[in-house]
Chain A
């Protein structure tokens, strides 16, 4: 459906499109400006395809200077700008504006330098996540954050979303692995944030920029930390008769002193879907499986594997499989990695949530999700980054059935409220975008939201960068609050049926 901006989030301007294209043509080659309807269409949405909006214009610069000129022009004409990497974002962060410029970073796709002795890589923002590890592999190094979308998503998008991945439990999120950014501000100024050292002078703007969803500046160059490749890896797959037992085992592993490289959980619905899809060898009658990867120096891995195995037995794992060789490991991981498409095989559509909760709340929240699933009559499969409490409930629905998308969204929003109530957050790694912008009103007070807006103004005083995303206006919250309490009442009525 076409996404509608809240009136309070709209940036209006009266600039004529053809005239603006003529201005742009003075700083960009013609082939870098896209204005034909059919050519604009592929940019109408990101990974959250339920919402669409054909952009006013798309530009494809291939240098920092071009980006500066574009930003200067937009700033001078009060035209809002939305940055786009690969468009794999799952919260609508790169959703275009009907009166704004969509700035694609796709052509800035070069790895500029790999500094092997200092273990850093300096890359352009449109470089794909996986290619950094591929290119640094010959130095025995890799870039640790590994979102499942890593073959497609860009490092600029990763910085904007503070993306995580399976190996972030041990190696940290994007925010822990970025050293330096070059950004272009809305006014067209080039600013260097951070540095080549481990810390930098003044306020920690790297922390603020990472996860800022393209609201503060355009990331035009990124220097990341590289990590030595482990010389040994071991993967353990453990099956459990209940989610509760699996969750207790997770808590025990996390407190044991061993930090797994990854610790993932899947529930029965996901196990079945994945098994049917890729035949990973999962026990389909298990209520939950845990995948626990250990890596590092070989003598350490042997010792840690032994400890993890005994914890799993102590917490009554019904089956424990250890995989030492990479072929076997890949087979086991294939089921987890294909979990989303596997669900896509058993359901016409699915909606992926991203709430994060304190780990000890896991079984309570899962029970609540189960109840909500029954209430709305939509199945939910669960995959989680168990080690850090990041849930990905996948809501199964059929967009062709009238009202199912709305029901899926309502279920999703109720799940987010459960996450907030359990002491967690509405998003662990996918970002707020447009998708969870109303839920922000529930997680933060008006004065906190106002503080976010003030921080944005420090970078982008006129609010022209990605308006309507990530941080709601107080007007929106006032309306959402009214609507939300109304819906809460409707629910109780429904429950009587």
Chain B
């Protein structure tokens, strides 16, 4: 629990002066994710603590190194939560780490992604300047939205010192039901359900059973589930934890695991391996030995993108390759924050 911003600023100033490359480490829970880390490791987890939390404002301001579990405990006391259901692959996951990887859990299609909850942030850029963008209000269009840009940037744009996040009240009640659906039927079934105004908060398919979670008042969700059908799942919280934190059986495997993001009603993709669908079909996990170029090609052609999430043979090509003009803008954007290319070099793309 300390504000280490001035120490980190010194440290980054030294790195800039000596052209030293830095690998930021938060909880270390996603060290396996992305391209191979390079540079001198700096532990940023100690810059932690909750700075401000006003439950009626639905906003929490925290330091980057604050553990997700700590944030959740505090929110719990006020019956609130992080709306994007952050995937935490271990107890040490920090909020800055979660934002840097930009991954969101099963609620994503229904209540938004991690980037949607970022209201403001304070960073140190590659000029060793401390900068604040955004703020604590729900709406803010003063200046470019550089706080949301941090989501998914893999720490390549700056060190995230603090962030203000929108939080949401816990739904009064949540429950999950499942129905048996054949693989060739499931896309249509999900599309039908999602076309209606129903308070879904999760939709996952394990290859045999379609699980759907509803949020709201007890009576209301029971009534809705009755009209959809299916059997209620006991221990449903554990189930969604398994899906989000990868303790579910599907993820217990050493086969290369792909995270594939596609339009939700995309017909089953012709790649060999075992699929599981989250996000009502918009997020597809694939355990497969297919070569990376093949996966990128097939998924790129259908307007989606693929990420070699873990257990890859190598970590050269992890993220979907970008077309030339887009890559040029991304490279220049990196340069705009970190002209010497010192922060997490190569972690996202070899070009920067």
Contacts and interface: CB of A to CB of B under 8 A. Distances in A.
A118 B263 contact: yes
A211 B303 contact: no
Interface in B260-295: 261-266, 279, 282-283
A452 B139 contact: no
A436 B141 CA distance: 11
Nearest to B171: A257
A482 interface: no
A359 B197 contact: no
Contacts of A387: 138
A203 B145 contact: no
B116 to A, nearest CB: 5
A445 interface: yes
B191 A432 contact: no
A216, A252, A299, A357 pick with most chain B CB within 10 angstroms: A299
Contacts of B144: 208, 211-212, 215-216, 452, 455-456, 471
A208 B137 contact: no
A254 B56 contact: yes
Given A197-B303, A257-B169, A423-B135, A451 B125 contact: yes
Interface in A124-138: none
Contacts, number: 273
A208 B305 contact: no
A40 to B, nearest CB: 29
Interface in B105-138: 108-109, 112-113, 115-116, 125, 127, 129, 131-133, 135-138
A430 B140 CA distance: 9
A211 B54 contact: no
B314 interface: no
Given A356-B138, A359-B57, A458-B333, A197 B171 contact: no
A61 to B, nearest CB: 20
Contacts of B319: 201-202
Contact of B195 (A200, A228, A430, A443): A228
A426 B199 CA distance: 34
Contacts of A173: 139
B307 A201 contact: yes
B149 A204 contact: yes
Interface string B183-209: 000000001001111110000000000
Contacts of A172: 112, 116
Interface residues of B, number: 89
A178 B303 CA distance: 15
Given A193-B326, A445-B131, A427 B142 contact: yes
B249 interface: no
A120 B326 CA distance: 23
Contacts of A447: 127, 129, 131
Contacts of A455: 144, 146, 333, 336
Interface string B305-321: 10100000000000110
A445 B143 CA distance: 12
Nearest to A199: B261
B10 to A, nearest CB: 17
Interface in A153-187: 161-162, 164, 168, 172-173, 175-176, 185
Interface in A433-479: 436, 440, 443-445, 447-448, 451-452, 454-459, 461, 470-471
7 contacts: A115-B263, A164-B139, A176-B112, A203-B334, A212-B144, A426-B142, A456-B144
9 nearest interchain CB pairs? A207-B148, A428-B139, A458-B332, A388-B138, A454-B336, A201-B320, A196-B303, A257-B169, A197-B261
Interface of A: 115-120, 139-141, 161-162, 164, 168, 172-173, 175-176, 185, 189-193, 195-205, 207-208, 210-212, 215-216, 228-231, 251-252, 254-257, 259, 295-297, 299-300, 302-304, 356-360, 385, 387-390, 423-432, 436, 440, 443-445, 447-448, 451-452, 454-459, 461, 470-471
Interface of B: 54-59, 78-80, 102, 108-109, 112-113, 115-116, 125, 127, 129, 131-133, 135-146, 148-149, 151-153, 157, 168-172, 191, 194-199, 216-217, 219-221, 223-224, 261-266, 279, 282-283, 303-305, 307, 319-320, 322-323, 325-327, 329-330, 332-337, 348-349
Given A203-B149, A231-B197, A428-B139, 9 more contacts: A119-B194, A204-B115, A229-B197, A255-B80, A297-B197, A358-B59, A387-B138, A447-B127, A461-B332
